[in-house]
């Protein structure tokens, strides 16, 4: 803000009625205040320019984060596409596995691990419990039945190499899809970081821009006050020239009047001279000054 109490006010009444000496003093005050305000405006303009430069730096930084974010998002999309394609391929392969199992009737009943666990539990029961002859016979038959089922299912699996290869291929494709999914997560997190940094940089740029705008308003206020003082200084200078001109005209008028009076007096003396009167030294000097002698 400009301290208005330090400003110099000039009115038309001042111009018309103040003496030349007062106006000279006021011109000096206006000039000094103008110079102070110009210096103030210059300093504020410099601060404003520094703030605008800082704003541009913040905006450039935000733009860098935007470009990095967009670049990462493109990579995210590429890995998403690859992941989706691989998952689709893995699903097709697993569908083939299930169909092949169904064709082999492997999808019915218990898998090998379950059968193996049941056999071990039955064998443990046989070894640890006291059973009647009838119960033990029944238990042995059950164990044998389970063993036969286990071997039959195991042989079917061992005999089908295509199924194993298909399962392995499907799992490899699924694993590759998981790697792309992991990259999606990692890159998306990085993209979010750059997005957050971009938002923060833009926010900081807005804050600094607000400071620059306030400083510009302050600069304009000081510059306009300086311009007003300069205009008033010019007006006072113009008035002083008018007064100087008026004084000069008055002096010239006085000189002309004196000259005219001297001429008239000399003509009277000259007339006396022509009439034969004796002239003294002072009269002769007056005639010489007017060119009549």
pLDDT tens digits, residue range 199-224? 999 999 999 999 999 999 999 999 99
The structural domain count of the chain equals 3
Q: Is residue 214 located within the same domain as residue 118?
A: no
Of the candidates 239, 97, 226, which has an alpha carbon nearest to the alpha carbon of residue 162? Answer: 97
> Are 148 and 281 contained in the same domain?
no
246 in the same domain as 182: yes
The pLDDT tens digits for 19-59 are: 999 999 999 999 999 999 999 999 999 999 999 999 999 99
Confidence of residue 281 (pLDDT cuts 50, 70, 90): confident
Of the candidates 14, 51, 46, 3, the residue with the CA atom closest to the CA atom of residue 240: 14
Q: Are residues 43 and 82 in the same domain?
A: yes
Q: Name the packing angle between helices 112-128 and 133-159 (round to 10°).
A: 160
The answer to pTM > 0.75 is no
- Tell me, yes or no, whether 265 and 275 share the same domain: yes
In a domain, 8, yes or no: no
Its domain, for residue 146, covers 109-159
pLDDT per position as a tens digit, 234-259: 999 999 999 999 889 888 888 878 88
116 shares a domain with 260? no
In angstroms and rounded to an integer, the radius of gyration of the C-alpha atoms of the chain is: 57
15 token code pair: 């111009």
Three-state DSSP class for residue 219: helix
**Judgement on whether residues 146 and 180 belong to the same structural domain of the protein:** no
Give the H or E element holding residue 7.
none
Q: Are 80 and 58 in a shared domain?
A: yes
The mean pLDDT of 154-177, rounded to a whole number, is 82
Closest C-alpha among 41, 85, 61 to residue 180: 85
């Amino acid at each position: 803000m400009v301290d208005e109490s330090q400003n110099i006010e000039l009115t038309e009444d001042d111009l018309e009625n103040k003496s030349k000496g007062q106006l000279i003093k006021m011109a000096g005050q206006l000039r000094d205040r103008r110079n102070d305000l110009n210096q103030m405006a210059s300093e504020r303009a410099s601060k404003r320019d520094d703030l605008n430069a800082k704003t541009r730096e913040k905006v450039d930084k935000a733009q860098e984060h935007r470009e990095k974010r967009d670049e990462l998002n493109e990579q995210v999309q590429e890995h998403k596409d690859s992941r989706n394609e691989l998952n689709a391929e893995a699903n097709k392969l697993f569908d083939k596995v299930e169909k092949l199992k169904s064709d082999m009737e492997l999808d019915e009943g218990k898998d090998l691990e379950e059968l193996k666990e049941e056999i071990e539990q039955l064998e443990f029961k046989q070894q640890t419990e006291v059973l009647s002859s009838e119960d033990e016979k029944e238990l042995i038959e059950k164990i044998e039945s389970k063993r036969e089922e286990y071997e039959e299912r195991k042989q079917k699996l061992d005999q089908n190499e295509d199924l194993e290869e298909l399962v392995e291929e499907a799992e490899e494709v699924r694993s590759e899809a998981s790697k792309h999914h992991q990259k999606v997560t990692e890159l998306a997190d990085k993209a979010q970081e750059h997005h957050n940094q971009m938002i923060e940089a833009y926010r900081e740029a807005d804050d600094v821009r607000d400071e620059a705008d306030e400083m510009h308003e302050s600069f304009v206020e000081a510059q306009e006050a300086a311009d007003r003082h300069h205009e008033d200084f010019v007006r006072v200078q113009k008035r002083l020239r008018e007064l100087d001109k008026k004084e000069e005209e008055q002096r010239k008028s006085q000189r002309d009047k004196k000259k005219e009076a001297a001429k008239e007096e000399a003509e009277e003396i000259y007339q006396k001279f022509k009439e034969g009167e004796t002239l003294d030294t002072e009269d002769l000097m007056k005639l010489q000054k007017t060119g009549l002698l």
